Chain A
Amino acid sequence: DAGVIQSPRHEVTEMGQEVTLRCKPISGHDYLFWYRQTMMRGLELLIYFNNNVPIDDSGMPEDRFSAKMPNASFSTLKIQPSEPRDSAVYFCASSLGSENSPLHFGNGTRLTVT
């Protein structure tokens, strides 16, 4: 299996632009998570899905952030409009089942908003 695939690996954009991050989970995994990692805040859970349905989006910082999972093999995290404070590494992770299963992380997208 190719693992969790995220794209792009790096994104540099100007403040105010829309940013879309993409994730392909491991085939068969029914949970998908979006995390943000920064030096200041560490690893923060933004939102997670179970069977394509958002379960908990309480970590989404504000309305500028939105996430979708239109099918079992694809998810997007969108920031519109982007701001410099959104600069971080965004990780997508997937798991099979729930509490007993470890998360499998993608390589992350390093976002820089200037």
Chain B
Amino acid sequence: AQSVSQHNHHVILSEAASLELGCNYSYGGTVNLFWYVQYPGQHLQLLLKYFSGDPLVKGIKGFEAEFIKSKFSFNLRKPSVQWSDTAEYFCAVTTNAGKSTFGDGTTLTVKP
């Protein structure tokens, strides 16, 4: 069975700081990788996704993620965070059986 591990439960940054959230997955087959964001009181929304091609993918709002197959990792990055990026971020893996598994989430707090 697949699993997803997000290393940081809570990250606190000041505005303009750089962000990197770690995500590692465990699965022996082909996977598709996603980052979702959940703003306070809202539902999860897609931030970016990877399923083939260039391992560096760009998403909305200046976010990007890099797939490193040898490390089973899909870390999320943003060069300069804003207060409005305060949210919970979820890494997810979907297998070819269509099942999506989510990490425990990382809460990002950006101080103005």
Identify the A interface with B (CB < 8 A): 31, 33, 35, 42-43, 45, 48, 50, 55-56, 91, 93, 95, 98-100, 102-108
Contact = CB atoms under 8 A, between A and B. Distances in A.
B42 interface: yes
Interface string B100-112: 1111110000000
Contact of A48 (B46, B92, B99, B104): B99
A95 B100 CA distance: 11
A37 to B, nearest CB: 9
Contacts of A107: 42-43
Nearest to A4: B43
A80 to B, nearest CB: 25
A99 B43 contact: no
A99 B32 contact: yes
B49 A98 contact: no
B90 interface: yes
A12 B74 CA distance: 38
B43 A103 contact: no
B102 A91 contact: no
